[in-house]
Structure 1
């Protein structure tokens, strides 16, 4: 496993930069850092164009996602330090999907773009081939360590090239995992 120390040091700096003013003196807030992984399993067969993967109606469902809507709770800022994508055609239900697939992404997904946007700022904009899981423990480091702020809506979307759609028929599932450092206040 890679040494995550540089990513975690950046995360601490980014999260520590959030300070409050008391008598015109900046003082750091007491912050507890926790390593977590946000994940989202999505059925992608039949998709084309731009698809919002998370919205206000997204609910936590064990084995499907641990995101609860499209904004984080108050006092819970998140720094993303790595991401990976897995896909599978094994399983009829998303809850039963087998994420052991190490194959190359299907052609329809190879040129799709994954975007994470908050307050009109593009935090992540990468083609799926750039974040695909080639080995079981591979994560693609995100050098910019984007900060996902609490109490502000974000968009997680998947955009396919014009004229490309994922065929309907055989179930095709995508799993997105974001390795994060969460700051709890």
Structure 2
């Protein structure tokens, strides 16, 4: 795995830019940084068009997702420094999906775009082929280190080319796992 020092330094700078003013002097807020991975497992068979992957009804379920709705809790800003995607057809339910498998993304998914949007700002807009895990431990670094702000709604969507849908195969479920490697600031 690559050296994360440069990503951490960028995250500290981004998070440090959010400062509080008191009595006309600028004082940084006490911030604790935590390494985390946000993840989301979704069943993709039958998907087409634009799919919202996270919404206000998304509930945190261990092993499925650690997103709790489509906004972060107060005082918990997140800087995203890397992302990866895993795909599998091994397992009938998301709870038992085998993420160790080396399944290759089908063409329908390879041509889809992943977008992360907050307050009409596009934070991430990448084709899935750009973030597919070609090796078992690959993460695709996000050079812009986007800041996902707390208490503001965000959209995480997957858009397929017009007229394309992921086929439904009888007896075979297709699952996608999105992992965002982040630095979380707790204030």
**Aligned counterpart, 2:159:** 159
Partner SS, residue 15 of structure 1? helix
Q: Deviations over 1:74-115 (max 9, x none)?
A: 000000000000000010001000012324310110110000
**Aligned counterpart, 1:56:** 56
Output the CA distance in 1 between the equivalents of 2:109 and 2:100.
18
Partner SS, residue 34 of structure 1? strand
**Aligned counterpart, 1:80:** 80
Output the CA distance in 2 between the equivalents of 1:134 and 1:64.
22
Please tell me whether the aligned partners of residues 117 and 156 of structure 2 are also in contact (alpha carbons under 8 angstroms).
yes
**Aligned counterpart, 2:176:** 174
Please tell me whether the aligned partners of residues 89 and 103 of structure 2 are also in contact (alpha carbons under 8 angstroms).
no
Q: How big is the alpha-carbon RMSD for the aligned residues of Structure 1 and Structure 2? A: 0.7
Output the CA distance in 1 between the equivalents of 2:55 and 2:147.
19
Partner SS, residue 54 of structure 2? coil
Output the CA distance in 2 between the equivalents of 1:81 and 1:89.
28
How far residue 23 of structure 1 moved from its aligned partner, in angstroms, is 1.1
Partner SS, residue 51 of structure 2? strand
How far residue 25 of structure 1 moved from its aligned partner, in angstroms, is 1.3
Output the CA distance in 2 between the equivalents of 1:88 and 1:125.
23
Please tell me whether the aligned partners of residues 64 and 95 of structure 1 are also in contact (alpha carbons under 8 angstroms).
yes
The 4+ residue runs of structure 1 with deviation greater than 3 A are none
Q: Deviations over 1:6-26 (max 9, x none)?
A: 000000000011001101211
Aligned residues: 185
Which segment drifts farther, 163-172 or 118-127?
Answer: 163-172
Q: Deviations over 1:142-185 (max 9, x none)?
A: 00000000000000000000000001132100000000000000
Residue segments in structure 2 that go unaligned for 5+ positions in a row = none
Residue segments in structure 1 that go unaligned for 5+ positions in a row = none
